[in-house]
C-alpha cells in the first residue's frame, strides 16, 4: 500500500544520501526490542526530513530488516517525485515526512505502554496478595489441625493412664488399683489449696509445683501438680500412681489420691511438716537441732525403706533417684522415701537391667549406671552410701567439690578414713551428742556402699544387719575412684552440677519442699 501526497520541489531530492540515511534507520530500527525507529535527516544541509520505520513483533529482526529494505526499494517505482510518502505492508511500515512524527525522545504508543506496565504491576501485586493469603490460610489450617491432634493425643494418653490405673494387672493377677487409691475431685483440691495460691506453695521442681492443702475435715495434704511444660511426662505420673499404691511401709511416703481432670494431673500425698532431709541438713538452725540420735534414726529408716523396696514388697523396686531432697521427714522426724516417678520394677529373679535413657541426679549415681546405663538394687545401695556420708558430715556431695577441698565428698571421706581420722568427717553440730563408735561404723558402711564395683557393695539386707548389730565384723572398703568432681562431663541429656542449683539428669526431680 502506497500513500504519497506531495511532490518534490526539485528533482533528485530523494537521492543516494537520503537512501543511505533511511537504510541506516532500517538497520537500527530492526534491531531494537520494539522493532521501531525514527530519526531526523538534513537534506542538502538546509532541509529537514523525518524517517519512520516499524515492524510487527511477530517476525524476527532479520525478517523485519528484509521487509523494510524491500519496501524502500519500492520507493523508486512509486514515489521518487513525492516529498512525503508512506508505504505499508502487513508486517512493516516505512514513512518519509517533512514534519516530525512525535516529540523528540518519545516512542510510539507510550501511553499504552505505561498502562500495560501499570496493569502488569497491579497483576503482580494481586498475585502476591493471593499467594500470601493462601499461605496464611494454609498455615492456620495446619496449625489448627496440629493443635487438635495434640489435644486428641493428650486425651488419649490420659485415657490410657486411667485404663492402666483402673484395669487389673494381668501379669501379677493383682486387683485393680481403684480399691487402693481413690481419685480426688479437682474441685476439692482447688478448695484445699485456695486455687493453687502462691501462699500455699511448698516447692517447685522438674515435675512442677507442690502445694500444701487443707481438706474440709482438717487433714493436711501435699499436692504435686504436673506442669504443662514438665519434663516429667505422663509415663512417670502413671508409674508413680500405679507403683506407690501397691507399696505400704512406714518409711515410704503415702500417696492418698490422684486426679486427672481438665488437663490437670495431680498427686495427693500425706503432708510432711518437717520438709526434706536436704532442707534440714543445709539449714544451720535445723541442722543444729538434728542430733546424732535423730540422724542415726534417719539412716536406719532409709535403710529399712530400701530393704522393703528391694526384697520385701510385692514388687522388686529400684528407686533410681534416691537423694536427700527425696527423703521427707514427718512430725517425729521419721524418714519417708518419696518420688517414685523414675522407679523401675523387676519380676522373678531378675537382678539388673540397662537403659539408653539415664535419669537421676549427679552425685548420687552409681558409676555403672552413669556410664553404662546399667542399674540394679546395687545402684540404690550406692545412692544410700552417699546419703549416709552426707548425714554424718552435714555436707551435700553434689556441691561439695565446689568448696575449698576441690574433691568429692566420697574421696574426702576416704582420705579421713584411710588416715585413721574418720571422726574429723563428722558434722561439728553433732560432736556433743554422737557416739564415736557408731559414727565410725556408719562411715565404714557408707564407704562400703559407694565402692566402684557393684559386686563389692553390700545388699540392703546386709546394710540393715550391719547397722543393727554391735558385734558384726565389717569388711574393709576399697577406695572409691568414681566421683563427681571438677572435670565431670555431662551425662546423656543432663548438665553438670553448679554452685547455685542441684541439677538432675533430664531434670526429673523435685526441688526443695519447705514447710508452712
Are 190 and 100 found together in one domain? no
Res. 506 pLDDT band, cuts 50 70 90: very low
Are 337 and 466 found together in one domain? yes
* Torsion, Cα of 129, 130, 136, 139 (10° steps): -150
Length, in residues, of the chain: 516
pLDDT computed for residue 414 by the predictor: 94
At 258-284, the pLDDT tens digits run 998 887 889 999 999 998 999 898 887
| Domain stops at, among 57, 90, 108 | 108
Residue 370 has pLDDT above 60, yes or no: yes
Over residues 13-20, the mean pLDDT reads: 68
Q: Is 470 a catalytic residue?
A: no
pLDDT computed for residue 178 by the predictor: 44
Residue 116 maps to a domain: no
At 318-336, the pLDDT tens digits run 998 999 999 999 999 999 9
Are 92 and 189 found together in one domain? no
| Domain stops at, among 81, 108, 135 | 108
Residue 134 maps to a domain: no
Distant-in-sequence, close-in-space partners of 512: CB < 8 Å, separation ≥ 6? 203, 275, 276, 278, 279, 325
Residue 515 has pLDDT above 90, yes or no: no
Residue 206 has pLDDT above 80, yes or no: no
The three cell numbers of residue 503 are 541439677
The three cell numbers of residue 269 are 500425698
Res. 119 pLDDT band, cuts 50 70 90: confident
Query: Which residues does residue 223 pair with via DSSP β-bridges, in sequence order?
Result: 211, 268
Ramachandran region of residue 105, left (φ > 0), alpha (ψ -120 to 50) or beta? left
Do 360 and 504 contact (CB within 8 A), yes or no? Answer: yes
Count up the domains in the chain and report the number: 2
The three cell numbers of residue 139 are 498455615
The three cell numbers of residue 362 are 549427679
Average pLDDT, the chain: 79
Are 257 and 351 found together in one domain? yes
Residue 25 maps to a domain: yes
Torsion over CA: 316, 321, 322, 326 (sign): negative
- Greater confidence, 177 or 146? 146
Give the N- to C-terminal CA distance of the chain in Å, as an integer: 109
One DSSP character per residue, 280-347 reads HHH-HHHHHH--HHHHHHHHHHHHHHHHIIIIISSSEEE-S---GGGEEE-TT--EEE---TT-EEE-
Residue 395 has pLDDT above 50, yes or no: yes
Are 335 and 468 found together in one domain? yes
Are 97 and 202 found together in one domain? no
Please give the share of the chain, as a percent, with pLDDT higher than 90: 36
| E strand map for 13-58 | 36-43, 47-55
As a whole number of angstroms, the distance between CA 389 and CA 425 comes to 9
pLDDT computed for residue 5 by the predictor: 52
As a whole number of angstroms, the distance between CA 191 and CA 251 comes to 29
Give the least confident one: 6-10, 86-90, 148-152.
6-10
Residue 371 maps to a domain: yes
CATH number of the domain enclosing 66: 3.30.430.20
Buried b (16+ CB within 10 A) or exposed e, 230-259: bbbebebbbbbbbbbbbbebebbbebbbbb
| E strand map for 30-91 | 36-43, 47-55, 82-88
| Domain stops at, among 108, 142, 163 | 108
Are 310 and 432 found together in one domain? yes
Residue 295 has pLDDT above 60, yes or no: yes
Angle at 248 between CA 244 and CA 252, to 5 degrees: 70
Residue 126 maps to a domain: no
Please give the share of the chain, as a percent, with pLDDT higher than 70: 75
Residue 161 maps to a domain: no
At 87-111, the pLDDT tens digits run 888 889 988 888 877 544 445 555 5
As a whole number of angstroms, the distance between CA 449 and CA 79 comes to 121
pLDDT computed for residue 177 by the predictor: 44
Range of the structural domain that residue 100 is part of = 2-108
pLDDT computed for residue 80 by the predictor: 67
Residue 496 has pLDDT above 60, yes or no: no
Residue 130 maps to a domain: no
Res. 143 pLDDT band, cuts 50 70 90: confident
Are 385 and 287 found together in one domain? yes
Are 289 and 412 found together in one domain? yes
Q: Which residues are annotated as a binding site for ATP?
A: 224
Do 381 and 467 contact (CB within 8 A), yes or no? Answer: no
In a 3-state reduction of DSSP, which class is residue 34? Answer: coil
Q: Residue written as cell 579421713? A: 416
- Greater confidence, 433 or 111? 433
Secondary element (H or E) of residue 214: strand 208-214
CATH number of the domain enclosing 400: 1.10.510.10
As a whole number of angstroms, the distance between CA 160 and CA 129 comes to 46
Closest by CA position to 247, among listed 335, 319, 329, 331: 319
Residue 329: phi and psi, rounded to 5, are -120, 130
At 22-31, the pLDDT tens digits run 888 888 888 8
Over residues 62-76, the mean pLDDT reads: 86
Residue 143 maps to a domain: no
As a whole number of angstroms, the distance between CA 416 and CA 424 comes to 7
Q: Which residues are annotated as a binding site?
A: 224
Are 104 and 181 found together in one domain? no
Could you say which DSSP state residue 487 is in? T
Are 92 and 188 found together in one domain? no
As a whole number of angstroms, the distance between CA 43 and CA 212 comes to 109
The three cell numbers of residue 279 are 532442707
Are 327 and 445 found together in one domain? yes
Do 39 and 25 contact (CB within 8 A), yes or no? Answer: yes
As a whole number of angstroms, the distance between CA 491 and CA 371 comes to 8
As a whole number of angstroms, the distance between CA 259 and CA 236 comes to 14
Which one of the listed residues 3, 58, 73, 321 is annotated catalytic? 321
Do 202 and 211 contact (CB within 8 A), yes or no? Answer: yes
pLDDT computed for residue 503 by the predictor: 33
At 334-361, the pLDDT tens digits run 999 998 888 888 755 545 555 556 667 8
Amino acid at each position: 500500500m502506497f500513500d504519497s501526497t506531495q511532490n518534490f520541489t526539485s528533482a533528485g531530492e530523494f537521492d543516494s544520501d537520503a537512501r543511505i540515511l533511511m537504510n541506516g534507520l532500517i538497520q537500527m530500527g530492526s534491531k531494537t526490542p520494539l522493532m521501531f525507529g525514527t530519526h531526523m535527516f538534513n537534506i542538502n544541509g538546509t532541509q529537514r526530513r523525518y524517517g519512520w520505520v516499524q515492524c510487527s513483533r511477530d517476525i524476527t529482526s532479520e525478517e523485519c530488516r528484509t521487509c523494510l529494505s524491500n519496501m524502500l526499494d519500492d520507493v523508486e517505482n512509486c514515489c521518487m517525485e513525492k516529498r512525503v510518502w508512506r508505504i505499508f505492508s502487513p508486517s512493516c511500515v516505512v514513512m518519509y515526512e517533512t514534519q516530525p512524527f512525535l516529540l523528540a525522545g518519545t516512542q510510539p504508543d507510550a501511553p499504552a505502554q505505561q498502562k500495560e506496565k501499570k496493569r502488569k504491576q497491579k497483576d503482580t501485586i494481586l498475585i502476591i496478595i493471593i499467594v500470601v493469603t493462601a499461605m496464611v490460610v494454609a498455615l492456620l489450617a495446619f496449625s489448627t489441625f496440629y493443635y487438635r491432634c495434640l489435644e486428641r493425643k493428650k486425651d488419649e494418653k490420659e485415657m490410657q493412664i486411667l485404663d492402666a490405673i483402673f484395669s487389673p494387672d494381668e501379669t501379677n493377677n493383682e486387683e485393680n488399683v481403684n480399691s487402693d487409691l481413690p481419685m480426688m475431685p479437682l474441685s476439692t483440691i482447688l478448695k484445699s489449696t485456695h486455687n493453687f495460691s502462691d501462699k500455699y506453695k511448698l516447692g517447685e521442681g522438674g515435675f512442677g509445683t507442690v502445694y500444701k492443702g487443707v481438706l474440709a475435715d482438717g487433714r493436711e495434704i501435699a499436692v504435686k501438680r504436673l506442669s504443662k511444660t514438665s519434663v516429667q511426662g505422663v509415663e512417670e505420673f502413671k508409674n508413680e500412681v500405679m507403683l506407690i499404691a501397691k507399696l505400704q511401709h512406714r518409711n515410704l511416703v503415702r500417696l492418698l489420691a490422684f486426679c486427672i481432670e481438665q488437663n490437670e494431673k495431680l498427686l495427693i500425698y500425706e503432708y510432711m511438716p518437717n520438709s526434706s532431709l536436704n532442707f534440714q541438713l543445709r539449714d544451720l538452725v535445723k541442722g543444729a537441732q538434728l542430733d546424732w540420735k535423730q540422724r542415726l534414726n534417719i539412716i536406719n529408716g532409709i535403710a529399712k525403706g530400701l530393704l522393703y523396696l528391694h526384697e520385701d514388697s510385692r514388687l522388686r523396686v529400684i528407686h533410681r533417684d534416691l537423694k536427700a531432697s527425696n527423703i521427707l521427714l514427718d512430725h517425729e522426724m521419721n524418714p519417708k522415701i518419696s518420688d517414685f516417678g523414675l522407679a523401675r520394677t523387676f519380676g522373678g529373679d531378675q537382678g539388673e537391667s540397662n537403659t539408653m535413657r539415664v535419669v537421676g541426679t549427679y552425685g548420687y549415681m552409681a558409676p555403672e549406671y552413669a556410664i553404662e546405663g546399667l542399674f540394679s538394687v546395687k545402684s540404690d545401695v550406692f545412692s544410700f552410701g552417699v546419703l549416709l556420708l552426707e548425714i554424718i558430715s552435714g555436707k551435700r556431695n553434689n556441691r561439695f567439690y565446689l568448696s575449698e577441698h576441690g574433691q568429692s565428698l566420697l574421696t574426702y571421706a576416704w582420705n579421713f578414713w584411710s588416715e585413721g581420722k574418720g571422726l574429723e568427717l563428722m558434722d561439728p553440730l553433732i560432736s556433743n551428742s554422737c557416739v564415736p563408735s557408731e559414727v565410725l561404723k556408719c562411715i565404714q558402711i557408707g564407704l562400703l556402699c559407694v565402692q566402684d564395683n557393684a559386686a563389692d557393695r553390700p545388699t540392703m539386707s546386709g546394710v540393715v544387719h550391719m547397722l543393727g548389730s554391735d558385734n558384726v565384723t565389717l569388711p574393709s572398703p576399697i577406695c572409691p575412684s568414681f566421683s563427681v568432681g571438677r572435670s565431670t562431663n555431662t551425662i546423656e541429656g543432663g548438665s553438670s552440677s553448679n554452685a547455685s542449683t542441684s541439677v538432675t539428669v533430664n531434670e526429673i526431680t523435685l526441688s526443695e519442699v519447705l514447710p508452712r
